[in-house]
Structure 1
């Protein structure tokens, strides 16, 4: 595309090449940028969520956060962060790529207009492409499910290492119960009158020697000091998992991970796309182009939303609601998965998902009230909902903004202004 200012020099041609590359990799660039920012912002809440799920105590989020900061420092809230920063960005980029490509395969026909991005699989089914809610929902369910199923194969080991880093102190306590056993209550002793022991020796040297013997005999041996907890690094954590569980141990809890990611991702993308569709994000209608070919992803809001909802907040609102509701539906699966992984990492005997679910809901003796048990199953949901609202709202806002920014050919614009 030629610059509109009439100048088409070397810098403009280079800028055009950069913009063409960005347009051809828009999904990758947008998803990676959004993932880095949203992961950093939401990681402390994700760490607190994992700790609440595995804790045996009924703690509030504020109290747990205070304990983490007191025992581990403020960095404890970001413990294990570098690995998720890399892996989540990669996973979300792959997830978005599979999701958008699957939607294109389902909806497009052979004569459909093509985008700047080269398809990874040139197939056109031409189904579920009508401009109605049912087609949008079914397309996103299929595309999201395919994305979650494929991505979880590679993300399961990284998820396990993340859980291992987040729950290091609790795993240490579970694997060393003798160090954290409660002390017996002190016994009340009846005061006894001082016992006078007649001395058998009268010389000063004998008296001193006998006093030393009495002191040594009455001295109680001190227990060995408790070894200080030293958290391992990420690489050390991986080695510990492989050493204790074997190489396939990195996929501990994979069946539950597969169910969680496949179902959760399908619901997540379907809810987001349906809400965007209801708020004016139709399939190709209502889009406007500027002189550089930039297209806005948000069309005019429907009449019922114009009075209270700014168009700029639509991605954040839809992303937040989709993240919260889909996560709430699959939260029990995530809670059981986290407990199963914690037990495996602590060297404890495994339990079936049904047994773990029954123990969480009904307690170890099976007498816990149902409502209380369900509340235990959803422990940490509050902090998880806050995390989902923040991370997914930011994610879609940044994805939307970055995509629009790339569509506007920013490098060519800059070259035109400097020409």
Structure 2
């Protein structure tokens, strides 16, 4: 198994862990982001309404799409991130400033790797999140879509591939900026731990992986939350022919939301996101790191020469 394939498999494990832990919080976030101002008094009001009107399983509405899609997305993120890190590390070694574990990767190299990971991820995450948001925000009594595949077919029939990739420009902006910050924060924490304690990456405790992932998650959302809100608005705009289309572009969406709802609209739903973030992102990096160690052990035992 090549190192890239190992990274992709480990990333998938991280993505599945992220979805299972974070999905209930995510649906509350999306409902609050896309509902008209004043619909919910707080995240607890929103969550209580979902539980009362739709039942506990509603918190996992649309989970099939992210379980498959986010697994692929996180796989891509980590695959591209790790590949970029190795390229930069090799260059640093050739220049005499690197280290065997990439400890001396510069801030700009880490940020660039995160941008590459985010852009690659955005090609898949855009449509995946579009379909998930459609399912999460549709009426519980008169749903427009029977499931993710039904949503894909109907949206494609109405608007073609452009409909599937609705909101893609703002998605790419979010992914590039967010994952640059996300992976930079995690890697700096990991590198600091390795340098301070003189240990290898695989000697970092699982608890620290969770803690570093949680910290990176907060950095991620501090950078992207307003962008994410606009993305959600763009992707739910024109939900049905009766609703009409409110926004002609991303900038038009920003202007209209600002004028109609003020600055507060750009952080609406932040509460459940901040609660969700440490659990979901901690689980993501824990899943990735533990899968990496397991695969390394299996491959090492089966074929030491392959490593």
Whether TM-score is above 0.5 comes out as yes
Shift of residue 107, structure 1, vs aligned partner? 1.8
Shift of residue 411, structure 1, vs aligned partner? 9.2
Counterpart check, 1:320 vs 2:198: no
Structure 2 unaligned runs (5+)? 303-307
Shift of residue 39, structure 1, vs aligned partner? 1.0
Give the equivalent residue in structure 2 for 1:359: 256
Normalised TM-score (structure 2): 0.85
Pair 297,142 (structure 1): closer, same or farther in 2 beyond 3 Å? farther
Output the CA distance in 2 between the equivalents of 1:392 and 1:356.
Answer: 29
Contact residue 106 and residue 126 of structure 1 kept, 8 A: no
1:169 partner SS: coil
Q: Which moved more, 1:402-411 or 1:145-154?
A: 402-411
Please give the per-residue CA displacement for 1:4-47, whole angstroms capped at 9, x wherever unaligned.
xxxxxxxxxxxxxxxxx497843233222222122111111111
Give the equivalent residue in structure 2 for 1:188: none
Give the equivalent residue in structure 1 for 2:305: none
Output the CA distance in 2 between the equivalents of 1:379 and 1:80.
Answer: 21
1:326 partner SS: helix
Shift of residue 87, structure 1, vs aligned partner? 1.0
- Give RMSD over aligned pairs: 2.9
Give the equivalent residue in structure 1 for 2:194: 281
Output the CA distance in 1 between the equivalents of 2:106 and 2:80.
Answer: 17
Counterpart check, 1:267 vs 2:178: no
Contact residue 45 and residue 384 of structure 1 kept, 8 A: yes
Contact residue 170 and residue 231 of structure 2 kept, 8 A: yes
Contact residue 95 and residue 148 of structure 1 kept, 8 A: yes
Counterpart check, 1:40 vs 2:10: no
> Out of 331, 337, 347, which is 2:231 matched to?
337
Shift of residue 83, structure 1, vs aligned partner? 1.5
Matched positions, count: 295
Query: Which structure has the bigger radius of gyration?
Result: 1
Give the equivalent residue in structure 1 for 2:277: 388
Output the CA distance in 1 between the equivalents of 2:233 and 2:248.
Answer: 9
1:20-35 equivalence runs, <5 A: 21=1, 25-35=5-15
Shift of residue 408, structure 1, vs aligned partner? 3.4
> Out of 215, 232, 239, which is 2:153 matched to?
239
Higher helix share: 2
Shift of residue 59, structure 1, vs aligned partner? 2.9
Structure 1 unaligned runs (5+)? 1-20, 113-124, 171-227, 289-294, 299-310, 365-372, 414-419
Contact residue 340 and residue 351 of structure 1 kept, 8 A: no
Give the equivalent residue in structure 2 for 1:91: 73
1:18-417 equivalence runs, <5 A: 21=1, 25-56=5-36, 57-109=39-91, 129=98, 135-169=105-139, 228-230=141-143, 231-278=145-192, 280-282=193-195, 286-287=198-199, 296-298=202-204, 311-347=205-241, 348-349=244-245, 350-363=247-260, 373-409=262-298, 412=301
Shift of residue 398, structure 1, vs aligned partner? 2.3
Output the CA distance in 1 between the equivalents of 2:285 and 2:70.
Answer: 15
Output the CA distance in 2 between the equivalents of 1:132 and 1:146.
Answer: 17
Shift of residue 388, structure 1, vs aligned partner? 1.6
Shift of residue 356, structure 1, vs aligned partner? 2.5
Give the equivalent residue in structure 2 for 1:11: none
Output the CA distance in 1 between the equivalents of 2:284 and 2:10.
Answer: 9
